[in-house]
Structure 1
Amino acid sequence: MALQCYPKFLHRFKKLIGDCNNGDDDIRNRDTPMILRYFCCPDYLRISVIDWKSEKECKLSVLKTLKRAYFVGCCNGLALFTSDNPSRVHIVVNPLSCNTATIYGPFKGGDPCGFFFHPSEKEYRILNVRKIEKDKYEYHVYLFGTNKWRKIPDPYFKYEPTRHWSRRKKGQKTINGNPAIVNDALHWDIGAIMVFDMISEEFTLRSAPFKETKGRKYVTRHLSANENRLCYCHLGCEEPVMDVWIMEDYEKWSWVKKYVVDLDFDMNKYPMESDFRFTTLSEIMGYITIVGTHNNELMLFWKRRGMFSCRLGFNIVKKIPLRKSEMDWHMHEFNWLCGFEIYSAI
């Protein structure tokens, strides 16, 4: 849903959104998805937007004040980051116009876990989670229309969303932390699927499209929105293929395994970096990060190999050029602080 010009928040976001005729129309009108690239370490936040021809860096002095920042999510061309240095500061960034807005709090702390546009109130909101005790979490929302935080009607839930920046134990793999927004609700993969209804502000827990087989290892999982339907990607260790499940009927919560993506890419055409050494299939598969899906196009970042686009249903693979960066080595050493996300301009 594109940003609409409603008086109650237009004054706040006019500067943030920027001029739509700023020379980026060739980027905005592309059918192929853009990608937000972010480096959250070591000294300050760096952000850029990748299309299929170039990479545009967002150069803002305010980003240099964030000594440690974490990506929360994207919504309608805006990206939300949070920082604990300074404490409890959240920055909304338009990476193309290079404009920002700053939000503080809430007073009791916690972490933002969702960024969305409310379909009926016509305003942006941030969802925040704070741990109260074991299996008890408190939730607040920030309303951009009133510039205030408030508790949701039933503020407590026994689960919390997965977040991008959660440092994992050795051997654990990546699960996407950016909620998939479909049917006026936010969805997170926490093993099951955790759902937050934007309208009722109620949480529910729904089943994943399949049950993990006992003892079966996975490399990565990713829940996203694809053509306004939930899309669940699962990559195991047994063979170089990725299962892609699509939500067929939201009301019935009905899934179908619609695609199987062949990841046995030609090593001569798409080689690994010359200094890379691996011994097992699971090791090389473990270097894959699912960026997201857009118009039946699956975007992958293969560490030490590059960025790829896979056309679902056609087994067509294309490599997307990435600009060399001084921060590239952090993609190998600190991957919980650096990453990519599907990006759609306003």
Structure 2
Amino acid sequence: MFIIHEDLAKYDAKSDFAKHGQDVFVYNENKKIKKKKKVVFEKLHLKPELKINKDKPYLLYSCEGVLMFVSSKWKSTYYIVNPITQEELTVRYTPGEVFVCALYFCPYTRQFRVLIAQLQDTCCTYFVHIVKIWKCEKIHSSISFNFLPNSFNPVVVNGALHWITLHDLKRKGVAPCENGIMVFRMDKEELFTMPHPPVSKVCKSNQDHLAMKLMVKDDHLCLCNMILPWYIVDMWWLEDYETRSWIKRYKINLLNERIFPFSKRLSEREIRHRHAWNVKFLYLQEGGLLIYLIHFYGEEIYLYNLDRRTVKKLELPREKLLASREWALYHKSFMAIV
């Protein structure tokens, strides 16, 4: 199951969310339909009295049924909301100096926490904000930490959060491959890094790391890497977490016309140069890779079976399609934020 938040900037100034509220949309596969897998569309309404409705926020993170948004008006303001219980919490951090890395649920303390990084020239100081008691605690790392993660939802496996490392503040412009994956252990509240697998010989810049996506499959950390402009996708499995032993499990050619109905559009020069980053890998489910494709005429979702090498287009309600959305993994819960 995954959740979609419409780009609310598309609405005009007359849109009165404080009066009518706003919506997030949950998509889930209907397994009752045997012949054709269909995506079921469900709307979750955020009631007008919530503070988030005074804003046009962007969805950042999803964790245990709780969502975290950032304000489009006030960059220091964040909203943490459970759309099922309608519980809401507003938090503020200093804009420009603080990078919000994750909303996570600590299984050891049974608390929601926010991991934040305070930027200081060529290094970062990381803090854990305990949402329930409004307390920030400085955390320690095994090295002088000068890394920042990408802004995607971290992958949780083996009791730790995992991100693709996006920036090495001491060596700007150099791909941090030997520290390509950031890890935060929730039990000891420690930060460290590990190298990403040897994805290719062309990983020479931070830009290459934008094509990497971490996922989890059968309690294994997985890395999905798309090599541009050839649209070759390598799927790596972390077989042994302690020895950090990676193996390449799958190799996918998105330009294979016998498998992918969108391959011709990807191979066209105009698409390749102007929309190179508009192929996204959302997550793995039941042995399938969920592929999200944006093009000139809208957007499409495909489920690719890794073992059978078959692809199926998932139906979306056409009247709801927009060119700009925020996506996150999601499952409904009644968990309290504080």
Could you say which TM-score interval applies, normalised by the shorter chain?
Answer: 0.7 to 0.9
Q: Give the letter aligned to residue 189 of structure 1.
A: I
Task: Map residues 67-216 of structure 1 onto 2, 5 A cutoff.
Answer: 67=56, 69-83=57-71, 85-95=73-83, 97=84, 99-106=86-93, 110-133=98-121, 135-153=122-140, 157-163=145-151, 177-190=152-165, 191=177, 192-210=180-198, 212-214=200-202
Q: Is the 8 A contact 1:36 1:48 kept in 2?
A: yes
CA displacement at 1:311 relative to structure 2: 1.8
Q: Identity percentage over the alignment?
A: 21
AA of the residue aligned to 1:185 = A
What is the alpha-carbon distance in structure 1 between the residues aligned to residue 260 and residue 53 of structure 2? Answer: 39
Mean Cα displacement is larger for which, 288-297 or 201-210?
288-297
* Alignment partners' CA distance in 1, 2:294 and 2:8: 17
Picking from 295, 298, 302, the partner of 1:308 is: 302
Amino acid at match of 1:197: R
Closer/same/farther in 2, CA of residues 227 and 103 from structure 1, 3 Å limit: farther
User: Using the alignment, how far apart are the partners of 2:316 and 2:82 within structure 1?
Assistant: 21
Task: Quote the offset at 1:98 in angstroms.
Answer: 6.2
- Residue 222 of structure 1, CA deviation: 0.6
Superposition pairs of residues 296-335 of structure 1, within 5 angstroms: 296-304=287-295, 305-324=299-318, 328-329=322-323, 331=324
C-alpha displacement of 1:207 = 0.4
The change in CA–CA distance for 1:86 and 1:106 in structure 2 (over 3 A counts) is closer
Q: Distance in 2 between matches of 1:246 and 1:268?
A: 23
Which residue number in structure 2 is paired with residue 21 of structure 1? Answer: none
Asked if the contact 1:292–1:341 (Cα under 8 Å) also holds between the matched residues in 2, the reply is: no
Output the TM-score relative to the length of structure 2. 0.73
Q: Which residue of 1 aligns with 2:226?
A: 235
What residue in structure 1 maps to residue 33 of structure 2?
A: none
2:45 counterpart letter in structure 1: K
**2 CA distance for matches of 1:270 and 1:98?**
41
What code does the residue aligned with 2:55 have?
Answer: L
Give CA-to-partner distance per residue, 1:100-130, whole Å, 9 cap, x none: 4213134686232112121211222111122
The alpha-carbon distance between structure 1 residues 143 and 268, as it changes in their structure 2 partners (threshold 3 A), is closer
- Which residue matches 2:240? 249
DSSP-derived class of the 1:59 partner: strand
Q: Secondary structure at the match of 1:157?
A: coil
Aligned-residue offset at 1:86: 3.6
C-alpha contact (below 8 Å) 1:311/1:317 kept by paired residues:
yes
What residue in structure 2 maps to residue 65 of structure 1? Answer: 54
Q: Structure 1 length as normaliser, TM-score?
A: 0.72
Aligned letter for 2:294? K
Give the match for residue 279 of structure 1.
269
- Closer, same or farther: CA 99–267 of 1 in aligned 2, 3 Å: farther
Check 1:205–1:277 CA distance in 2 against 1; reply closer, same or farther (3 A cut). closer
Query: Structure 2: where are the runs of 5+ without partners?
Result: 12-16, 30-38, 166-176, 334-338
Q: Deviations over 1:148-205 (max 9, x none)?
A: 3332256972111111xxxxxxxxxxxxx22111111111112411111112111111
Moved more, 41-50 or 236-245: 41-50
Q: Which residue of 2 aligns with 1:24?
A: none
Q: What is the CA deviation profile of residues 69-102 of structure 1, one whole-angstrom value per residue up to 9, with x for unaligned ones?
A: 333322222222222534533222334x262421
In 2, Cα distance between equivalents of 1:271 and 1:222: 21
Distance 1:188 1:269, change over 3 A: closer
The amino acid of 2:4's aligned partner reads R
| Count of aligned positions | 289
CA displacement at 1:241 relative to structure 2: 3.3
